[in-house]
């Protein structure tokens, strides 16, 4: 497993992270096997959110990993807050309460990275800044980030913060490439030329903000996985072809495709299958050529101008 410095802050994180959204209802033994497999493969980064399983995902993770001070220093734990049932809430009170709840469920004294989960248009950045300062000064949260934010939302928040935003978690896969498409179709009258996210890819690179790719095997907004889907027959054929050439499982190729980008994007994989996780981690052992990267991009139905 290769490692990257998150947000330029010398936080050595595995370039592939394990997302823990789906572990809430799994038997403890299965979660233990999954986490042990992740650790054996070199994954040291685990992604959570207060809403995953209504908090149960954090609880079962702590139980399964056998949280203790010695182990805690060897792993990087990220969690998120801000989504409530039917609305978003970036109030100081909610942020502080959410973190305290996560700390209790995770059986830890601190969170390595706290993300604001989705933009709250009622956000008062001064209030968020106050909450972040309290959390940072108290040692409860060491670093901060956001999820699904566009550049000006980050700029607005950053104006009031004493801490840097080091993460932006965004949806990205071979079959969900909006942030990349825009860069190819400059000054063109095509749907791909529409700037839907404010040039977030380039912005994050300029600001040393690590992009984390969520749903790296999905297309659309939770419409399903492209792996084995007849809707993406050409893509799956190309995945198999390149996987055979590289000597790795085909499921590793979509992750290798993300890792190949010079932005050093960190994929968040949400599998709960230990064998599949091992196959996915093979992506860290290979590097796609430019030609292979573009072949995959085109095989997913993307067109180059």
SS (H, E, C) 38-52: HHHCCCCEEECCCCH
| Gap between the Cα atoms of 143 and 136, Å rounded | 8
The CATH number covering residue 77 comes to 3.20.20.100
pLDDT at 220 exceeding the cut of 90: no
Mean pLDDT over 153-164 rounds to 98
- Asked if residue 305 is part of any domain, the answer here is no
Phi, psi of 81, deg, nearest 5: -145, 170
- Asked if residue 304 is part of any domain, the answer here is no
What band does 221 get if pLDDT is binned at 50, 70 and 90? confident
- Look at the chain and report how many structural domains it folds into: 1
- Asked if residue 257 is part of any domain, the answer here is yes
pLDDT at 212 exceeding the cut of 80: yes
Mean pLDDT over 153-166 rounds to 98
What band does 10 get if pLDDT is binned at 50, 70 and 90? confident
Q: What is the pTM of this model?
A: 0.96
**pLDDT tens by residue, 102-111:** 999 999 999 9
| Residue 165, beta-bridge partner list | 144
| Gap between the Cα atoms of 296 and 224, Å rounded | 19
Considering the chain, what percentage of its residues have pLDDT values greater than 90? 94
Structural domain harbouring 254: 3-299
Written as one string, the DSSP assignment of the chain is --EEEGGGS--EEESSEEE-TT-TTS-HHHHHHHHHHHHHTT--EEE--TTGGGGHHHHHHHHHHT--HHHHTTSEEEEEE-EETTEE---HHHHHHHHHHHHHHHT-S-EEEEEE-S--TT--HHHHHHHHHHHHHHTSEEEEEEES--HHHHHHHHTT-SS-EEEEEEE-BTTB-HHHHHHHSTT--SGGG--SSSSHHHHHHHTTPEEEEESTTEETTTTEE-TT-GGGHHHHHHHHHHHHHHTS-GGGHHHHHHHTSTT--EEEE----HHHHHHHHGGGG----HHHHHHHHHHTT----
What are the catalytic residues?
52
- Asked if residue 166 is part of any domain, the answer here is yes
Considering the chain, what percentage of its residues have pLDDT values greater than 70? 100
What band does 223 get if pLDDT is binned at 50, 70 and 90? confident
- Asked if residue 35 is part of any domain, the answer here is yes
CA-CA distances (angstroms) from residue 51 to 48, 98, 133, 300? 9, 10, 23, 32
- Asked if residue 271 is part of any domain, the answer here is yes
Residues 253/296, Cβ–Cβ less than 8 Å: yes
Token output for 287: 């590097």
**pLDDT tens by residue, 165-201:** 999 999 999 999 999 999 999 999 989 999 999 999 9
- Asked if residue 286 is part of any domain, the answer here is yes
What band does 211 get if pLDDT is binned at 50, 70 and 90? very high
| Gap between the Cα atoms of 23 and 52, Å rounded | 9
Q: What's the pLDDT score for residue 305?
A: 94
pLDDT at 222 exceeding the cut of 90: no
Question: What does the mean pLDDT of the chain come to?
Answer: 97
pLDDT at 238 exceeding the cut of 90: yes
Distance of CA 40 to the CA centre of its chain: 20
- Asked if residue 159 is part of any domain, the answer here is yes
Q: What's the pLDDT score for residue 146?
A: 98
């Amino acid at each position: 497993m290769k490692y990257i410095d998150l947000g330029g802050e010398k936080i050595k994180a595995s370039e592939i992270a394990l997302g823990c959204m789906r572990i809430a209802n799994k038997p403890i033994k299965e979660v233990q096997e999954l986490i042990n497999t992740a650790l054996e493969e070199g994954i040291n980064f685990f992604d959570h959110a207060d809403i995953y399983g209504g908090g149960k995902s954090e609880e079962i993770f702590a139980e399964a990993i056998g949280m203790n001070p010695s182990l805690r220093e060897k792993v990087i734990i990220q969690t998120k807050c801000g989504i409530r049932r039917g609305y978003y809430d970036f109030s100081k009170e909610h942020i502080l309460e959410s973190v305290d709840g996560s700390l209790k469920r995770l059986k830890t004294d601190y969170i390595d990275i706290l993300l604001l989960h989705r933009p709250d248009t009622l956000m008062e950045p001064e209030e968020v800044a106050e909450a972040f300062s309290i959390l940072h000064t108290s040692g409860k949260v060491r670093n901060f980030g956001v999820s699904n934010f566009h550049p000006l939302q980050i700029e607005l928040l950053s104006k009031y913060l004493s801490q840097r935003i080091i993460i932006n978690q965004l949806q990205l896969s071979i079959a969900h490439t909006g942030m990349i498409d825009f860069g190819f179709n400059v000054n063109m009258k095509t749907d791909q030329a529409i700037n839907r996210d404010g040039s977030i890819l380039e912005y994050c690179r300029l600001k040393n903000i690590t992009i984390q790719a969520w749903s790296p095997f999905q297309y659309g907004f939770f419409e399903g996985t492209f792996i084995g889907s007849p809707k993406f027959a050409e893509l799956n054929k190309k995945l198999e072809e390149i996987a055979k050439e590289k000597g790795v499982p085909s499921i590793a190729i979509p992750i290798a495709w993300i890792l190949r980008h010079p932005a050093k994007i960190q994929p968040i994989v949400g599998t709960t299958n230990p064998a599949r996780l091992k196959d996915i981690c093979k992506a860290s052992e290979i590097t796609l050529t430019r030609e292979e990267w573009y072949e995959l991009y085109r095989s997913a139905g993307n067109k180059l101008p």
